[in-house]
Homo-oligomer: A and B are copies of this chain.
Amino acid sequence: MDRKQLVLGIDIGGTNTKFGLIDKEGNDYLMGSIPTNADQPAVNLFFRLFEEYDRLKKDLKFDFDLMGIGIGAPNANYYKKTIENPPNLNWGYVEVETIIRKFFPQPIALTNDANAAALGEMYYGAAKGMKDFIVITLGTGLGSGIVVNGNLVYGHDGFAGEIGHTVYDPEGRLCGCGKKGCLETYASAPGIKRTVLELLAKNNYPSRFREISFEELDAKMITDAALEGDKIALEAFDFTAKVLGTKLADAVAHTSPEAIILFGGLANAGDLLLVPTKRYMEEHLFHVFRNKVKLLKSELNEGKSAVLGAAALIWNEILKN
């Protein structure tokens, strides 16, 4: 039998860091997870991660070639192989390549989680066979990965694809980034919670949400309420879709993708979000783009998607050469 060729995919999150050994077809042969411990230095995380990886590897019943290490992380710089002042992680500027070189000689590649998700969709998910598409991740924030002619767009500085920080309303909601009215203050899990609050203030009809604090509220509750016909929840989805659809039409005008793929927590609302978002997007599209651009839900297994995407970063470089 041929010796297996596998890539170690690592997804660094604010709370947990997941990793796995992934083959070219997206099959996983080992999956692990450790706490990120964001208050400790980054080197500590990698040390614990590789220790756990070595421990789990002992159970594998076959030998393999490790082809490389792909990493998805917030504020990762593809060109410099660094992580730069990641939000929610107390790390500052991390030279990831220098750290990894102490453990592994294999090629490494890193990018932000949304870009990794885009490569994951291209190799293993809803964007298979596509050369021009955009992945939008709807979670705590709104991330985006833009693929043009089969390649991720990194831009001059490696940080391209920040559609979450395009402006919906210059006088709008305050964003974590310090600006006002960024798309992600509307279209994200916290964004739809803020919309529910606004709607409760604007209207005066009864709602289950009048008894729930902002901290207690989550996107899943809003989805469940909408599915049961709750008026505030339905209006919240409609408004979220309006903002998202308007800005997706702008994104289409830039790179004219074949499809836009929604990924992450809020995308699990499915048609509740997809159907009105598509309608608002079409309404705002320049006529040459109308009825051409698919709006799809991610086809990656959510538990593994980020690790698949991180691994795809290496597979992409191997398969392109």
Contacts and interface: CB of A to CB of B under 8 A. Distances in A.
A168 to B, nearest CB: 10
Contact of A159 (B170, B178, B179, B288): B288
Given A132-B155, A156-B131, A251 B254 contact: yes
A154 B150 CA distance: 12
A286 B249 CA distance: 20
B157 A288 contact: yes
Contact of A155 (B154, B177, B246, B256): B256
A46 interface: no
A148 B159 contact: no
Contact of A156 (B165, B166, B167, B256): B256
Given A155-B256, A256-B156, A284 B149 contact: no
A209 interface: no
A62 B254 CA distance: 43
Given A148-B151, A148-B153, A254-B255, 8 more contacts: A75-B288, A146-B255, A158-B256, A166-B249, A166-B253, A167-B246, A177-B287, A179-B286
A257 interface: yes
A192 interface: no
A135 to B, nearest CB: 13
Contacts of A132: 155-156
A146 B131 CA distance: 17
B153 A289 contact: no
A167 B292 CA distance: 19
Interface in A123-160: 131-132, 146, 148-149, 151, 153-160
A157 B256 contact: yes
Interface in A266-311: 284, 286-289, 292
Contact of A250 (B75, B157, B167, B257): B167
B288 A255 contact: no
Interface in A152-196: 153-163, 165-167, 170, 177-179, 182
23 contacts: A131-B156, A146-B255, A148-B148, A148-B153, A149-B151, A153-B254, A154-B256, A155-B255, A155-B257, A157-B288, A157-B292, A159-B288, A159-B289, A160-B255, A161-B253, A162-B253, A162-B256, A166-B254, A167-B284, A170-B246, A170-B284, A179-B286, A254-B254
A258 interface: yes
Contacts of A289: 157, 159, 162
Contact of A287 (B155, B160, B178, B249): B178
A235 B179 CA distance: 24
Contacts of A153: 148-149, 254-256
Contacts of A253: 161-163, 165-166
Contacts of A156: 131-132, 256-258, 292
Contacts of A255: 146, 153, 155, 160, 254-255
Contacts of A151: 148-149
